[in-house]
Each structure stands twice: as structure tokens, then as C-alpha cells.
Copies of this chain bind each other. A is one copy, B any other.
């Protein structure tokens, strides 16, 4: 049996993958990428959009893994089964996802299953979305002896407020912020400076630090907000 390699594709711009990631895609026998179905039944995959723009010839196959929803254990078991078949055929298998592969990633779940199954695994890190988003701001994400907090799928705006108040010198990043509604209302009464970024590094990138830009705006899945230390001016 050969090796399973998790490869981070980075935040969305195909040029933001590493030299090592590209070389590994070129050398693999098969590349699996996460995909989901749209409401109209079409296959959607941000990872595939990145792969299509890179210089390699390896066969690419989808793993159908919805970004939200139920029965996730069963969905991951099926995805792992497809990977395992290729490993059992003696193939060198790569599994990709956007961002990094062990930081709030799709691959993380498959990695645990493969480890439990005794498969030899390796990891090629990718740039996480929050790092690329922060690169679009006009100040450091964090520096010196300040701390850094990140939450994904926040439970409530109270959770966010509690974190901001408990650690006033720290930066807070909120990922998968779409799970909450009424961001505009929250931000109008929050005094921290912020950077809101949608789809960093893609043609659909949108960046603002102005609350008014978020009035009536629909928040997509790939959006991130960075709360910096200090007071908004």
C-alpha cells in the first residue's frame, strides 16, 4: 500500500499554493477533491477551480462532501472508502482542500480515519483563509505579545462579545460567520476595528472595514472577519 498525502491548496488564488504542493500534485497517481451539489443539482467545488488552473496532468476525482448538513459521519465514511480503494490498488493518493489540511479542514476527518486504519500519511500545509484575509488589511493581524483567538461557527453574538471583552489586547478571527444572522446590527454597536473579507484571492474577493458596506449584504460561506485590538475611529 502506498501513501496518502493531504495537500493544502491555500486560500483560492492558484498561485498561492506552495512549490511542494504543486510537485506533489504532479507526482500523485490520483487527486481527490471535495465537492458538493448545488440546489439545482450541479457539482460545485472551490478546490476544483484551483486545480483546473494549475500545471499538472494527474487524474482528479470528486469526493462529495456537503459543506454543511447532517449525516456527516456517513458522508466521510463513503469518502474514505473511495480513497481506500485507490490506496489498495497501490496508488499514491493525494487529497486536497482549500486552505490548510489540518486547520478546520475537510482532510482532517479523513486523516483521522486513515490513521486509525494504519495508512501511512503525510501532510503538505497550505495557507489558511484567515492569513490570506488578514493580508488584505492595512495593519498586522497580530504582533508582539498580543494573543490571537479564532472561532469557527460562532454560537451567538454574545460569545463573540464575551471573547472581545475578556481579551481586549488580542485579535479575534471569526470563520464560518454565516451561521449567525444580523451581522450588520452587531457591528454597528461593536467598537473594535474590523476587516471583513469574502473569498480572498478569488475574482469574487470583497474587502471592507466599513459597517455600512454590510447593510443588507448576504454573507457567503467563505467569509472571514478579523477584529483587531483598539477602538474603531
List residues of chain A with CB under 8 Å of any chain B CB. Answer: 10-11, 13-20, 22-23, 100-105, 108-109, 111-112, 115, 123-128, 131-132, 134-153, 155
**Across the two chains, which residue of chain B brings its CB closest to A106?**
B143
How many copies of this chain does one complex carry? Answer: 2
**Across the two chains, which residue of chain B brings its CB closest to A148?**
B150
Q: B135, A115: Cβ atoms under 8 Å? A: no
**Across the two chains, which residue of chain B brings its CB closest to A151?**
B147
User: When the two chains form the complex, which single residue of B13, B138, B150, B152 contacts A115, counting CB atoms closer than 8 Å?
Assistant: B138
Q: How far is the CA of A108 from the CA of B144 in the complex (A)?
A: 10
Given contacts A16-B20, A148-B149, contact A132 B143 (CB under 8 A): no
Q: How far is the CA of A152 from the CA of B149 in the complex (A)?
A: 12
- Give chain B residues whose Cβ lies under 8 Å from the Cβ of A139: 102, 111-112, 115
Q: How far is the CA of A75 from the CA of B175 in the complex (A)?
A: 36
- Give chain B residues whose Cβ lies under 8 Å from the Cβ of A135: 100-102, 123-125
**Across the two chains, which residue of chain B brings its CB closest to A14?**
B19
